[in-house]
Structure 1
Amino acid sequence: MRLSTLLTALALGVEGLAAAVSSLATYINWRTFRGHGVNLGGWLEQESSIDTTWFARYADNATDEWGLCENLGPEWPAVMEDRYSTFIREADIDELAAAKVSIPRIPTTYAAWIDLPGSRLYSGHQQAHLRRIANYAIEKYNMHIIVDIHSLPGGINGLGIGQAVGHWGWWYNQPALEWSLQVVDAVIEFV
């Protein structure tokens, strides 16, 4: 598969890799398409600056999702699953459509795609929640979903949005690269 085809398929989102590849030339002329986008951060990946009240309630002074999950202890799965099922709902998509939004960008962590040994990020049912909302947006409003891999195993920028504050371990790390490629493969399979 050519790189441009792969990148286009990822940009098209969850509408189906096979359909995207087979109808790439006729689907949408992205040079003339005019869309309006919005970022749905804070739903399938957590940043302390997006929903400060929720983060303060659960994070116990953690600065990133890694610390949040560590601090939650055994409550970790229930709190995260509740967040995934309630933070973005179909009614939110209805409101976005009414505001003429046609391209939601949905950030995820690598933990939505693989269960990395030793990671504190929660690997749960993120894909099911993403599928539910994406299918609704696509089927009801013909929206185009951008699935964002917002972090890679090992940490890419030392910030809370790159796995955890102070995590730089992705660079020059062959195992981290291999895990990252598994993440990309999982997203492609999902799409």
Structure 2
Amino acid sequence: MNIKGVNLGNWLVLEKWMSPALFDGTTAEDEYYLPRQLSKEAYESRIKVHRSSYITERDFAEIKSFGMNTVRIPVPYFIFGDCPPFIGCAEELDKAFAWAAKYGLQVLIDLHTVPGSQNGFDNGGLSGVVKWAQQPESVEFTLKVLEKLAERYGCHQALWGIEIVNEPLLEAAWDTFNSMERYPAVDPEMAKGSAPITLGFLKEFYIKAYRRMRKFLPEDKAVVFHDGFDILAWKDFMREEEFKNVVLDTHQYLMVAEMDGCQQTLEAYVKYVKEVLEPVIEEMEQYFPVICGEWCLFNSLACGHDTNGGRSVLNGVEGITEETFTPEEKKKIYTTLADVQLEAWAKGSGYFYWNYKLLLDTVNDSNWIGWDAWDFGKCVVQGWFPVQK
């Protein structure tokens, strides 16, 4: 199956910039600190309302109508409700599976956060801390969560696969992302000793996870692993007969290309996709089915200013007050980038757009000009992204 998918980010794993109102009345920048700054009642009430309204059955019908066949659902390590003060969300995932089955969609479960954090990003649940790999008890806890996910959903008709862990930050990308400065830690003591994950550790962890998940996961369900932002490092990995139906996930954003020095012009973006990304996808597809598990149309050019690698209003980067381009010019930028990126992912085994929706008012709040490109529904409706046949 060629994957045409979309991510349901910010539903079960929160990201402040995607729905800032959830964090009102707090200084929390991530999910770790939100329940520590609200009363138990206020936190539980907010989370329950958010989860029940942000994604519903109707969204699955809409995703199907856009021509998609798969959803990638980020879940937190506390999905099973065993890590207070956080609230579990297995019931919501159960509902998602029922909706997916009804509308003929497949599901990729993506373990998006782990205790101690694998990357220090805000979307890892704990900003500015990268200590998961140094904590054997956290690593073991993660393996148990993966086992439980495999046991609970492994034989479900709507399951396409399970992704072991989202975006572990390897040494190769440590300086590019600079997560210690980009997402400053609230507690410097907690962040002390943070370090990139080594390739050796990650390979060993993936093999352990594969073996423990396969006890419950039939071979027709995929085990997906993320490249840690070092896609070419995996050529000699899992080549043995034992490993069946293993899929490589790579995340490729134009804002990361900008961070790596790509000029903020349409020509430069197109050249980057064609000459850097496409050949790499094609090369790695010889070893594994390759999916681009996260990408989007967002870029600084269409925002009208340098976003410093996708830093938002919430990171203190002010937007502009008026559009730089006419709607027609903007549409040309986005449709060109949609076409060239879809061509690149077609050299592999498919893609998942990030993200299905955001709770941002990009019309009335001029600070957010250009940020509707992260919202798949808005991209489709505005004709920036072609409805898939």
| TM-score tier (shorter) | 0.7 to 0.9
Q: Please give the residue correspondences for 1:67-106 in structure 2 after superposition, counting only pairs within 5 Å.
A: 67-74=33-40, 75-106=42-73
Question: 1:93 and 1:182, CA in 2 relative to 1: closer, same or farther beyond 3 A?
Answer: same
Counterpart-to-counterpart distance in 2, 1:114 and 1:185? 15
Counterpart-to-counterpart distance in 2, 1:162 and 1:170? 11
Question: 1:77 and 1:55, CA in 2 relative to 1: closer, same or farther beyond 3 A?
Answer: closer
TM superposition shift of 1:56: 4.0
User: Share of identical aligned residues, percent?
Assistant: 27
8 Å Cα contact 1:114-1:183 kept in structure 2? no
* Higher radius of gyration, 1 or 2: 2
**Please, which of 9, 18, 27 is the counterpart of residue 41 of structure 1?**
9
8 Å Cα contact 2:23-2:34 kept in structure 1? no
Give the AA of the match of 2:3.
G
Alignment-derived partner of residue 160 in structure 1: 122
Counterpart-to-counterpart distance in 1, 2:4 and 2:17? 23
Alignment-derived partner of residue 63 in structure 1: 29
TM superposition shift of 1:123: 2.6
Q: Which has the higher helix share?
A: 1
Q: Secondary structure at the match of 2:73?
A: strand
Give the AA of the match of 2:99.
Y
Moved beyond 4 Å, runs of 4+: none
Q: Deviations over 1:4-40 (max 9, x none)?
A: xxxxxxxxxxxxxxxxxxxxxxxxxxxxx22310010
8 Å Cα contact 1:170-1:176 kept in structure 2? yes
**Structure 1 unmatched runs, 5+:** 1-32
TM superposition shift of 1:169: 2.2
TM-score (norm 2): 0.37
For CA contacts below 8 A with separation 6 or more, give which structure has more relative contact order.
1
Counterpart-to-counterpart distance in 2, 1:175 and 1:35? 35
TM superposition shift of 1:187: 1.0
Q: Secondary structure at the match of 1:96?
A: helix
Counterpart-to-counterpart distance in 2, 1:51 and 1:36? 25
Question: 1:130 and 1:190, CA in 2 relative to 1: closer, same or farther beyond 3 A?
Answer: same
Alignment-derived partner of residue 20 in structure 1: none
Counterpart-to-counterpart distance in 2, 1:114 and 1:56? 21
Give the AA of the match of 2:34.
L
Alignment-derived partner of residue 19 in structure 1: none
**Please, which of 73, 81, 95 is the counterpart of residue 132 of structure 1?**
95
Q: Secondary structure at the match of 1:95?
A: helix
TM superposition shift of 1:92: 0.9
Counterpart-to-counterpart distance in 2, 1:153 and 1:183? 11
Counterpart-to-counterpart distance in 1, 2:47 and 2:23? 14
Give the alignment's Cα RMSD to 1 decimal: 1.7
TM-score (norm 1): 0.73
Alignment-derived partner of residue 106 in structure 2: 144
8 Å Cα contact 1:64-1:161 kept in structure 2? yes
Q: Please give the residue correspondences for 1:167-186 in structure 2 after superposition, counting only pairs within 5 Å.
A: 167-186=129-148
8 Å Cα contact 1:154-1:163 kept in structure 2? no
